[in-house]
């Protein structure tokens, strides 16, 4: 029997993706941010939905970094890091999902584990658990609180960035992905120690296959930000598409966006693994060298497969040239960020 109500809800999910794709920038309302963050959508075939929370510390040669994930997809089960996870709706805004996370404390990486967790969404609150610890995000833009048992307790506040939120998407029916980002400051306690740094809260929903990509976001001492993304055709492919490269020059209050950039991404083994990202368009050149200091890998199978590796990184070199100016790492101060390498 055809479930017409479910079909209507799936069309609603596609409508949301279309709306986020049409915004494709920072002009997103607080109401829409909260609506996306605090709702679970009806997933079509190939549907995926996840909440992803990333934090960078500010101090030390190897700054503290932590990540938390809540992930669900269309289907009854999946393998996550070789563990079978059951996926099931348990009612409106209540479902079984995968939770995972890690903390790098400045010296070593602490794996918070992988859990098949009951997750509930209430008004301006997501409640789940990871390895027996209650995990909760609460609040609304721009003020949130994230708490994980006695391990993490962070207050998240408005930050002084050129852009502190966005809504984005790609919609090519029947495929599409839509997401919202919130870029904030954070302070509190991580592993019993004081933490002060930045927060990136993201919620994603879509219908697409898994695929190889690179993504990176680097935040500098003067609040400038470098961000890049590309899809690729295979694990070691150098053919990139859907490419983007943006630099937020906080000092000069300017967003430098590369127009359909030519990207070259390579890695080199030195004392530590280095990722080198180079990009250019008609009148701009960019090069950054990222030194990795922590690594965490996730492997997913079921309805396709994906290996997803997160690297905590610090920039060792940066050169940006436009027709008006040249910017180097000396102009920006120390930086910290994440580089992602994902493949089938």
- Would you kindly state where each structural domain of the chain is located, as residue ranges? 1-208, 209-344
Residue 7's alpha-carbon distances to 13, 14, 35, 36, in angstroms, are 10, 11, 20, 19
Give residue 219's pLDDT band: very low, low, confident or very high (50, 70, 90). very high
Confidence check: pLDDT of 188 > 90:
yes
Q: Which two tokens stand for residue 149?
A: 């048992």
Query: In CATH terms, are 1-208 and 209-344 the same topology?
Result: yes
Question: Mean per-residue pLDDT for 135-157?
Answer: 98
Predicted pLDDT at 244: 96
What value does the mean pLDDT of the chain take?
96
User: What percentage of the chain has pLDDT greater than the value 70?
Assistant: 100
Confidence check: pLDDT of 189 > 90:
yes
The residue ranges of DSSP E strands in 1-150, in sequence order, are: 47-57, 65-73, 77-80, 83-86, 88-91, 94-104, 109-122, 125-130, 133-140, 143-148
How far apart CA 234 and CA 238 sit, in angstroms, is 8
Predicted pLDDT at 276: 98
Q: Contact, 125 vs 38, CB < 8 A?
A: yes
Predicted pLDDT at 303: 81
> Could you report the per-residue pLDDT of 104-134, keeping only the tens digit for each?
999 999 999 999 999 999 999 999 999 999 9
User: What percentage of the chain has pLDDT greater than the value 90?
Assistant: 95
How many CA atoms within 13 Å lie on the side-chain side of 177? 15
Confidence check: pLDDT of 245 > 80:
yes
Question: Mean per-residue pLDDT for 55-68?
Answer: 96
CATH pick for 1-208 out of 2.40.370, 3.90.1010, 2.60.120, 3.40.50: 2.40.370
Predicted pLDDT at 304: 85
Question: Mean per-residue pLDDT for 300-319?
Answer: 95
Confidence check: pLDDT of 2 > 90:
no
How far apart CA 272 and CA 287 sit, in angstroms, is 18
Confidence check: pLDDT of 3 > 90:
no
CATH pick for 209-344 out of 3.20.20.70, 2.40.370.10, 3.20.20.140, 2.60.40.10: 2.40.370.10
Q: What angle do CA 242, 245, 250 make, to 5 degrees?
A: 150
């Amino acid at each position: 029997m055809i479930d017409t109500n479910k079909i209507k809800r799936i069309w609603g999910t596609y409508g949301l993706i279309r709306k986020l794709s049409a915004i494709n920038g920072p002009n997103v309302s607080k109401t829409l941010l909260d609506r996306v963050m605090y709702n679970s959508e009806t997933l079509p075939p190939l549907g995926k939905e996840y909440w992803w929370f990333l934090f960078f510390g500010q101090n030390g040669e190897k700054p503290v970094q932590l990540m938390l994930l809540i992930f669900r997809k269309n289907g009854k089960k999946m393998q996550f890091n070789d563990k079978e996870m059951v996926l099931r709706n348990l009612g409106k805004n209540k479902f079984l999902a995968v939770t995972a996370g890690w903390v790098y404390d400045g010296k070593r990486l602490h794996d918070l584990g992988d859990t098949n967790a009951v997750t509930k969404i209430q008004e301006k609150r997501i409640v789940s658990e990871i390895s027996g610890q209650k995990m909760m995000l609460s609040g609304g833009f721009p003020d949130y609180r994230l708490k994980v048992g006695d391990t993490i307790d962070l207050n998240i506040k408005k930050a002084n960035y050129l852009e502190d939120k966005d809504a984005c998407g790609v919609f090519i029916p029947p495929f599409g992905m839509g997401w919202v980002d919130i870029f904030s400051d954070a302070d509190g306690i991580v592993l019993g120690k004081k933490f002060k740094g930045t927060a990136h809260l993201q919620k994603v929903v879509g219908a697409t296959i898994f695929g190889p990509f690179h993504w990176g976001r680097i935040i500098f001492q003067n609040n400038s930000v470098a961000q890049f993304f590309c899809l690729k055709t295979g694990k070691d492919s150098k053919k990139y598409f859907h490419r983007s490269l943006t630099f937020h020059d906080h000092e000069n209050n300017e967003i430098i966006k590369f127009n359909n950039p030519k990207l070259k991404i390579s890695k080199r083994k030195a004392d530590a693994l280095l990722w080198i990202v180079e990009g250019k368009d008609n009148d701009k050149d960019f090069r950054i060298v990222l030194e990795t200091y922590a690594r965490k890998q996730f492997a997913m199978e079921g309805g396709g497969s994906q290996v997803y590796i997160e690297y905590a990184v610090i920039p060792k070199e940066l050169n940006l040239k436009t027709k008006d100016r040249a910017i180097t790492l000396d102009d920006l101060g120390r930086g910290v960020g994440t580089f992602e390498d994902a493949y089938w």
